[in-house]
Amino acid sequence: MMLNVAAQTAVSALPIGKKEVENASRILQRYKAGKSNLERRVVENEQWYKLRHWEYIRGGRGELEPTSAWLFHCLANKHADAMDNFPMPNILPREESDRGEAELLGSVLPVILDQCDFEETYSAIQRNKLKTGTGIYGCFWDRGKHGGLGDISVVKIDVINLFWEPGITDIQRSRNLFHVELYDNDILLADYPFLEGKLGTGLADVKKYVYDDTVDTSEKSAVVDWYYKKRVGGKTLLHYVKYVGDTVLFASENDPAMAASGWYRHGLYPFVFDPLFTVEGSPAGFGYIDIGKNAQTYIDKGNQAILKNMLAGAAPRYFIRSDGAVNEEEYADLSRDFIHVDAGLGQDSILPVQTKGLNDIYVSVVNNKVEELKQTTGTRDVTLGGTSGGVTAASAIAALQEAASKDSRNIARASYRAYRKLCLMVIELMREFYDLPRCFRIVGEKGTARYVSYSNAGLRPQSQGMEMGVDMGYRVPLFDIEVSAQKKSPYSRLSQNEMALNFFERGFFDPRLADQASACLEMMDFDRKNFVMERVLKNGGLYRELEALKGELAKLSALVYGNKPALDAPSPDTVKPTVTDEAVAGEPAVTKKARERTAMAASVG
């Protein structure tokens, strides 16, 4: 009994217990109520994306329901633009001494993201961003990766499962942050046997999508990841609690090794928001479905009316008097040659229903709605590969497509800002957890593969030594990240290739014109401008060095060959050894004189 009392006292003395979890659940319910409108819109937009939007249009009447995919086509085109502009990081040091570390880090970081299947994650987040207006990255340290060695994980987070303080725009300013997900009860019991009898109670279900399959959640429980920030000694610490119902599964404050440092040392919530069109008072945004659903509604309703009119005119219908003398079954059967009638058949016994032809103005209105949808979503014909105004030149078409894709480039730049934050968070996790060297295969610019070993030795605080007997302390290597597109679109590549050929034809790469070319390039603005300027200046410097060496060679040649110009002097390969009286190329003098006398006698004879 004494042991049980002591154990209960020890548990109650922990910073995070049942009372704190119950209070956190109340905060979570308040946060959940604050984003109810967003959740409803997200679920509805998912139905629009699946072309199930007649459930919101029809109003309960079962009618002809034509579904056009203009809005879906807009999303597919924008997603293709996003994948054409897949990001690539360029790590830049803030101090000269960190240049080598920045170059190595710039080669290793893309490999780490690739190992996280980042391209698939990026694709899913861009699709969510277009549908719901918000894409969310989750950046975590997964302690179970690589057999317990651990590594970084970058995953897609569903906006429905994340809850933040209502009214804030920057997610890092939220007092608390909750991520709720359903897990199978048997898996939870296998990992946490003490949950026996405690599952299936507590928190209400999170908002669910309308799935095509039947999803049974009766044997699942909501597991809450609770993140919160705490000020300790002028420093903000991030702490983490995992709980089910009112039972704590893990709490970083309860762990002595983490109580003073927090869950992650960077002190940030491990989530990065990438909104499409931002709104005040929320870190989430709205997407293209929210913009185009009104026009899509009237397009489908107009098509519905037009098709109903078409079917009414195409399928003949008749008025039949109730006291008519015509056999209706035989009349409707076109294979019957004879139709029986009673006596007294009149002209008004059967009359065809006259339908009025549809005026072209209604078709024009629907087409105008289609054009409105294309214009408001930036899905113009020229962005889809079409031409306008009889333009046929490849360069002119590329210029039109580049001009028409301003919306896509603007969206891509917003995604790059979120990607930059993600990369900085990945670097911070490397700084904290990459204690052991890891081997990476990196590919250079020329396609050659090499293997490097990397750890956080170059990322940890560096000693600044002593100055006049004073310890200057430590500095933390910091880096900036410049993001560019890894794979250009075909039109961007065409435009850039034509620009490179134009530079070549204008003599920009002639080392004799390096100064003029660099002056011209300074006034220009294009992708990889710094690389081109560096190459031009480098070629110019090599040319000047070569000219200086030629001058030195001329001076040396003048000393060796007298006043003969250096360039006219024979090269060392063509200079023949000088014949002296003593020897000729190793020939004894006696033999040489005998040969000369023989040659003279032969010439006289």
Cβ-contact 461, 433 below 8 angstroms: no
Q: How many CB atoms lie within 10 A of CB 208?
A: 12
Q: What is the three-class DSSP state of 239?
A: strand
Q: How many CB atoms lie within 10 A of CB 63?
A: 9
- Judged against a pLDDT cut of 90, whether residue 118 lies above it is answered with yes
Residue 582, pLDDT score: 44
- Phi then psi for 282, rounded to 5 degrees? -155, 140
Task: Provide the mean pLDDT of the chain.
Answer: 80
Higher-pLDDT residue of 228 and 551 is 228
Q: Which of 22-31, 110-119, 188-197, 397-406 has the lowest mean pLDDT?
A: 397-406
Cβ-contact 142, 150 below 8 angstroms: yes
Q: Which of 80-94, 101-115, 499-513, 566-580 has the lowest mean pLDDT?
A: 566-580
Residue 451 CA to residue 454 CA, distance in Å, equals: 10
Q: Which of 15-19, 453-457, 468-472, 478-482 has the lowest mean pLDDT?
A: 468-472
Residue 146, pLDDT score: 85
Cβ-contact 563, 534 below 8 angstroms: no
Q: Which of 393-402, 463-472, 561-570, 582-591 has the lowest mean pLDDT?
A: 582-591
Give the chain's length.
Answer: 605
Residue 388, pLDDT score: 54
Higher-pLDDT residue of 147 and 13 is 147
Q: Which of 15-29, 99-113, 346-360, 433-447 has the lowest mean pLDDT?
A: 346-360
Q: Which tens digits make up the pLDDT trace of 513-525?
A: 888 888 888 888 7
- Judged against a pLDDT cut of 70, whether residue 136 lies above it is answered with yes
CA dihedral defined by 215, 220, 222, 223, rounded to 10 degrees?
A: -120
When computed from its CA atoms, the radius of gyration of the chain, rounded to whole angstroms, is 39
Residue spans of beta strands (DSSP E) within 198-327 = 220-232, 235-244, 247-251, 271-275, 277-279, 282-286, 318-320
Token pair, residue 66, equals 């034509």
Q: Which tens digits make up the pLDDT trace of 344-388?
A: 666 667 767 677 777 888 888 888 888 888 888 877 655 555 555
Residue 153 CA to residue 112 CA, distance in Å, equals: 9
Residue 425 CA to residue 152 CA, distance in Å, equals: 10
Cβ-contact 48, 293 below 8 angstroms: yes
Higher-pLDDT residue of 32 and 404 is 32
Mean predicted confidence (pLDDT) in 104-116: 91
Residue 523, pLDDT score: 82
- Judged against a pLDDT cut of 70, whether residue 535 lies above it is answered with yes
Residue 394, pLDDT score: 53
> What predicted TM-score, i.e. pTM, was given to this entire model?
0.74
Higher-pLDDT residue of 126 and 568 is 126
Mean predicted confidence (pLDDT) in 219-227: 90
- Judged against a pLDDT cut of 50, whether residue 583 lies above it is answered with no
Higher-pLDDT residue of 321 and 593 is 321
Residue 503, pLDDT score: 82
Q: Which of 37-41, 464-468, 572-576 has the lowest mean pLDDT?
A: 572-576
Count how many Cα atoms sit within 13 Å of the Cα of residue 210 in the half-sphere of its side chain.
Answer: 15
- Judged against a pLDDT cut of 80, whether residue 391 lies above it is answered with no
